[in-house]
Amino acid sequence: MADAGDILIDGVPATPADLVHVALVNYGAYTSFRVEEGAVRGLDLHIERLKASARELFGETPGEARLRDLMRRAVGGRDHCWLRVSLFSPEISPRTPGWTGAPKVMTATFAPPPPLAESVRLQTQVHAREAPHLKHVATFGLIRARRTARAAGFDDALLVDAEGRVSEGSLWNIGFLRGGEVVWPQAPMLAGVAQALLQRGLDAAGRVGTIEPVRLEELSRFDAAFLCNSATPACAVASIDGHVFGPAPLDALRAAWASQPCQPI
């Protein structure tokens, strides 16, 4: 994890007062990604995510130029790192929720994390994230879901609604393979940057991608499944509850992700 010297707020070292507020008030949004020699795959998508979240949660956006400047300050001279960019406001609390303005920008740098796994066994859980289209800081439900799955002998949790429709995982998006086609679930969920990069690469390679409802009772329609996030371009899903999948073409999926160029900060 980052130490205090790795956490900046609006480009300067975080103060204790700022960190107390962030620790106690669970209102904000973030995005996170790998930095490779000062560049990021899908940086345009991460910036758009931050701007859209800022407008919805705070009423104003810091703006792309400021976000880029603060990212460059955070990365400094590092060749490779993991960067988390968070938005918050010390003016907002449970008693004072009405403030409107451009949020503060908190950056934290870490060593790049390893991929989640090569293969996972998933337990379905009926759960929906609050405001699922946002990558927000309210992570209690996700951590609890993952913890519950592991206590039951699985690797992670797959979220479904009350009608058995698949949405997303605890920290990732899920995709299914049907012949040469990639199927992404249609449900309230976070549109992941890794998901978008994968589909961009697959489109360029001529592999069709589609979005449609995926129900648990229909899993036999698919040959394989995989998960993806910014730290894990592709990881095979071995099983969902008792349903076992065939092997996923991880090399092709990772090649699709890697085909997307890094964009300078």
What is the pLDDT, as a whole number, of residue 208? 80
d(CA 233, CA 252): 11
CA distance 136 to 132: 9
CA distance 228 to 240: 16
Helix (H) or strand (E) holding 46: helix 43-58
pLDDT in tens for each of the 265 residues of the chain? Answer: 555 459 999 999 999 988 999 999 999 999 999 999 999 999 999 999 999 999 999 999 999 999 999 999 999 989 999 999 999 999 999 999 999 999 999 999 999 999 999 999 999 999 999 999 999 999 999 999 999 999 999 999 999 999 999 999 999 999 999 998 999 999 999 999 999 999 999 999 988 899 999 999 999 999 999 999 999 999 999 999 999 999 999 999 999 999 999 999 9
Q: How many helices (H) and strands (E) does the chain have?
A: 6, 16
Architecture of domain 4-110: 2-Layer Sandwich (3.30)
pLDDT at 31 (0 to 100): 98
**pLDDT value at position 5?**
54
Where does residue 120 rank: exposed (0-12), middle (13-18), buried (19+ CB within 10 A)? buried
Q: In which element (H, E) is residue 209 found?
A: strand 209-212
Q: How far apart are CA 199 and CA 244, in angstroms?
A: 24
pLDDT of 18 reads 87
Give bridge partners of residue 211 from the DSSP assignment. 184
Please give the helix or strand (H or E) that residue 236 lies within, else none: strand 232-240
Q: What pTM did the predictor assign?
A: 0.94
Domain boundaries 119-260, corresponding CATH code: 3.20.10.10
The answer for residues whose C-beta is within 8 angstroms of residue 142's C-beta and 6 or more apart is 129, 170, 171
Cα–Cα distance for residue pair 82/113, rounded to 1 Å: 7
Domain map of the chain by residue range? 4-110, 119-260
Query: Is beta strand 209-212 parallel, antiparallel or unpaired with respect to 181-185?
Result: parallel
